[in-house]
Amino acid sequence: MGTAATRVRAMGADVHLLVVGGPPSLLEEARELVEALEARWSRFRPDSEVSRLNLQAGRPVRVSPETLTLVRRALHGAAVTAGRYDPTVLGAVLRAGYDRSFELLPADPPPGRSPLRLGWRRIAVDQARSTVTLPPGVGFDPGGIGKGLAADLLVRRLLARGAAGACANLGGDLRVDGDAPAAGPWVVDVGHPLRREPAATIGLRRGAVATSSRVRRAWGPRGDRHHLIDPATGHPARTGLAAATVVAAEGWQAEVLAKAAFLAGIPEGLRLLAATGADGLLVGDRGSWHQSAGFERFARRVQERAG
Amino acid sequence: MDGRRRRHAAARSRVAAGALSVAVFLGLGTNMAATAAGSGNSDTAGDTTGATEQQGSWSATPAAPSQDQQAVTSSQGS
């Protein structure tokens, strides 16, 4: 069975799509879906549904089924992680200087100003009317969960259209399902935050992988300002971790847990993974290695365990 | 003594937060957000992910690769 692949740039990330079998039009269809989701979810596009939500906070805003799902997933993720993952850190992200697409961000942007505050518990979702209401003064930032959910939607669409297997990878938030390109499982390298070589190579029949790293999307002269904002402090988190990788059933779940585990640090991050049934690998600031009890079931080799 | 009280209070707070998150994960939560968000693993009218995994676990399906299998993609971090 043939495999088709393409790489595009979308959602501020490198997107890697792989399709096993199915009609040749599938990759083009997938590209169109990525672009459509970015048009709905980008906080940098004034006409996106997310921008409309933020501009019209305090009033119900009618949104597409995909955006309704995005908000519901974000709220569920916040509830499961007791708010460690918080989709309303937009104000803190802006105050940290991340006010435009990362490619356009200067090397050392000045701190921004924003009156937006936290408030995920007061977001209202009306399933019947397909509306979302943000509390006044609260901003919604889909960020990574948008990429994870997009990976889920892409793989589901590709399988529904006749693919035997599919992989959608949006900047490291990836989902796989169905037949892999070669016999055996889907094989994925997990990047090491401090080294060139992968931290591990993992295999899975179906599921998702996401990595949150403070060395990516970092700025400032020492690179100590980054996008992983701790809702408890409103500042880029310092938890002793350089990166957290999570393997979960779905892309949005892996993304929520990777961010929450990173923010929780060790050992709370591992306890969070255990509570949800997910697995993962946490790499400390100096390369220390901390993995969930079940991570070995996925891993072929481990590059570094010193710590 | 005050320091010990504070540490005990902080420990109780962490335990409570952990218990809450586990309860919400298992679908026992009743707060507004959890209700609005619904189950993370259920297919509903507005659910466009096609999520059909069993309630109660976010586990992927593992299959450790053999030594000769090459990675087809990578998770570098975002």
Element (H, E) at A225: strand A225-226
Question: In this structure, what token pair is assigned to residue A230?
Answer: 């701790």
pLDDT digits (tens, 9 = 90+) for A191-201: 999 998 999 99
Q: What is the pTM of this model?
A: 0.85
Nearest chain B residue to A85 by CA distance is B21
Tell me the CA end-to-end span of chain B in Å, nearest whole number: 44
Q: Do the Cβ atoms of A268 and B34 come closer than 8 Å?
A: no
pLDDT digits (tens, 9 = 90+) for A96-121: 777 777 677 677 777 788 899 999 99
Q: Which amino acid is at A133?
A: T
Query: For the residues A122-137, what does the mean pLDDT come to?
Result: 97
Q: Which residues, including other chains, have CB under 8 Å from residue A36's CB and lie 6 or more apart?
A: none
Q: What is the pLDDT of residue A227?
A: 74
- Best CA proximity match to A152, nearest among A37, A41, A245, A5: A37
Percentage of chain A with pLDDT > 70? 93
Query: For the residues B30-49, what does the mean pLDDT come to?
Result: 36
Q: What is the pLDDT of residue A117?
A: 93
Packed helices B2-25 and A65-80: angle between N→C axes, nearest 10 degrees: 140
- Asked if B44 lies within 8 A of A127 by C-beta distance, the reply is yes
**What is the C-alpha R_g of chain B?**
20
Q: Residue window 62-121, chain A: list those with CB within 8 Å of chain B.
A: 65-66, 68-69, 72-82, 120-121
Query: For the residues A148-162, what does the mean pLDDT come to?
Result: 98
Token pair 């955006």 in the structure block, residue? A67
CA distance A205 to B61: 5
- Asked if B73 lies within 8 A of A174 by C-beta distance, the reply is yes
SS3 label, residue B26: coil
* A84, pLDDT greater than 70: yes
Nearest chain A residue to B23 by CA distance is A80
Question: What's the ipTM?
Answer: 0.86
CA B38 to chain centre: 14
Identify the band that residue B27 occupies on the pLDDT scale cut at 50, 70 and 90.
Answer: very low
Q: What is the pLDDT of residue B32?
A: 31
Q: Do the Cβ atoms of A30 and A105 come closer than 8 Å?
A: no
Q: What is the pLDDT of residue A109?
A: 74
Q: Is A265 left (phi over 0), alpha (psi -120 to 50) or beta?
A: left
Average predicted confidence (pLDDT) for chain A: 92
pLDDT digits (tens, 9 = 90+) for A229-242: 898 888 888 889 99
